[in-house]
Chains A and B, each alone.
Chain A
Amino acid sequence: MEIFLPVAGVSVNIFLIIGLGGIVGLLSGLFGVGGGFLLTPLLMMFGIPPTVAAASDANQIVAASTSGTYAHYREGNVDIKMGVYMLIGGIIGGTLGTQIIKILREMGNVDFVIKVFYVTFLGIIGAFMLLESLRALKGAKEEEIEKPSLLKKWMMKLPFQIEFEKSRVRTSLLAPVILGVAVGILAAIMGVGGGFILIPVMVYGLGMPMNVVIGTSLFQILFTSANVTFMQSIINHNVDIFLAIILLLGSSFGAQIGARLGRKLSSDQLKIILATTVLLVAVKMLFDIMIMPAHILSYKGGH
């Protein structure tokens, strides 16, 4: 069954889009990522203009992350206190990042630099997570607690030390704010929701347990994607509500299934799957910039 999307200006098959939404929602509930990295290029493959794909995807993520946050919250896996501090940092970082990207764009071609940066970043994070969790699976457990990272040591020295009960960590309230700023800047520059950046930061930077990380990440993504949807509607008028509704029909169910599936997996198993996904995305992006494009011209706008 085909439906014409009023803002995108193309017609799509409803069931196909629901299916796509379902897959991305599953990833979202499982790992706490928004899934924009996957969905936006897929939507573009079906002829949806890049800017509309990215904006409507953000709208859809609002639904998936609401559904996912709710599922994880019931499990007691959302650290709202931590989330709010990171969100404050994220908003500051996002604003800074938007300004930085504006300046960079005026200086010339940055899209390519961003892609290379992204690929490198994802590659390093993915490889690190994979190695670390494989080692942990082999039995070298609990070693890290005795050997806190430099980042953790530094954060322990910051003032305003408080207890985050849900995350079972004690750290300065400045730590999540500062990390939030860093993630916000990166997310704005790279044009992604930031789940991929946020999760490793919470796991390795703050030392939070994996299940709480996923729930808290979804909580964050809910606010950032709602903000993006709203801003895109006002400034660029490129949110397609039809597309978003069809996607969210799939993704909000997918998120529930993902959250349930996640309960059955151990922290290290989750990390391994996530790390593999991250690496695959990095490899795919690397291929994208190395393979000769079918068209050397493309419409301007969007990522």
Chain B
Amino acid sequence: MRPLIIILLLITCFLLLRANSYAKEELAARLPQDEIDITASYHGERLMIYGAVPKDADIIAVVTSPKESLTMKMKGKVGPFWMDVKDIHFKNAPSMYKVHSTRVINDILSIEKQEELGIGLHGLKKQIADGAEERLTDEFIKLKNDEGLYSIKEGDIKIYKQKLFETYFYWPPKAPTGKYNIEVYAVRNGRVILHDTETLMVEKVGVEAFVSNLAKNNGMIYGILSVAIAIGSGFAVGILFKGGGAH
């Protein structure tokens, strides 16, 4: 009789533990909104991303915009002058790329793994490089970084009571419109144990959408309108000065 009870007890304990650990192994990344509306007063947006943290796991959150194919001009020194010497193509560069993590990414994940998942500086370089010289990839990242479109903040994710993580991402006004992916990874012992994806749309609304659509789709009307407004206001100010001026 006794061994049976012990075995039953053990099984129950095991099941309970398993259930318990399942309950803890959750990531559930959340964004407070799934859209950023660009209005006339828009000057960037700061958004919080939060979720549950599995026990003893590190969190890495990656925000990426759609990739674009870009042609850049490269300057070189010729004699005493700096001039554009050639065109450089980046076929696979995201317009915006931001990574936040609980601590130094190299301590969380191996470089191979970073490259594979497109995480951190190594992952970013791997995506962009695509045949381009390393020095130029570095220059490209530096430019984007200075524009506030690329950033890697290690240690920027805060964990509360070992249960909840939280971090703020900033969309600068320059961040292009479109669909952004937010990938959140929970990593333990160098292995990704959980992964969650959220998406966010950045779009122009109201008068901003109206003007940019008109510019894009109705160049003729837009051009006439622009010139007419300019001539009209030039005259208006001229007449204003004639009326009010001391003669």
Chain A residues in the interface with B (C-beta under 8 A): 2-4, 6-7, 9-11, 47, 59-60, 62-68, 70-71, 74, 109, 111-112, 115-116, 222, 226, 229-235, 237-242, 244-245, 248-249, 252-253, 255-256, 260, 289-300
Contacts and interface: CB of A to CB of B under 8 A. Distances in A.
A293 B113 CA distance: 35
Interface residues of B, number: 65
A9 B215 CA distance: 13
Given A67-B233, A70-B238, A297-B140, 5 more contacts: A62-B230, A66-B233, A109-B83, A234-B223, A255-B237
B40 A60 contact: no
21 contacts: A2-B41, A9-B177, A60-B230, A62-B226, A63-B234, A68-B234, A109-B85, A111-B84, A229-B223, A230-B227, A231-B223, A238-B215, A244-B226, A245-B229, A252-B233, A256-B238, A289-B82, A292-B82, A296-B75, A297-B72, A298-B72
B136 interface: yes
Interface string B221-247: 011111101110111111101100100
A239 B139 contact: no
A297 B204 CA distance: 29
B234 A59 contact: no
B211 A242 contact: yes
Contacts, number: 185
A2 B204 CA distance: 16
Interface of B: 38-44, 70-78, 80-88, 136, 139-140, 142-143, 146-147, 173-174, 176-177, 204, 207-209, 211-212, 215-216, 219-220, 222-227, 229-231, 233-239, 241-242, 245
A59 B226 contact: yes
Contacts of A63: 229-231, 233-234, 237
B174 A47 contact: yes
Contacts of A300: 71-73, 87
A71 B238 contact: yes
B212 A290 contact: no
A297 B135 CA distance: 11
Given A4-B173, A290-B81, A297-B88, A241 B211 contact: yes
B211 A112 contact: no
A244 B222 CA distance: 13
A297 B74 contact: yes
Given A230-B223, A237-B219, A296-B74, A7 B230 contact: no
Complex A-B, nearest 3 residue pairs according to Cβ-Cβ distance, in ascending order = A66-B234, A233-B223, A70-B238
Contacts of B77: 292
A234 to B, nearest CB: 4
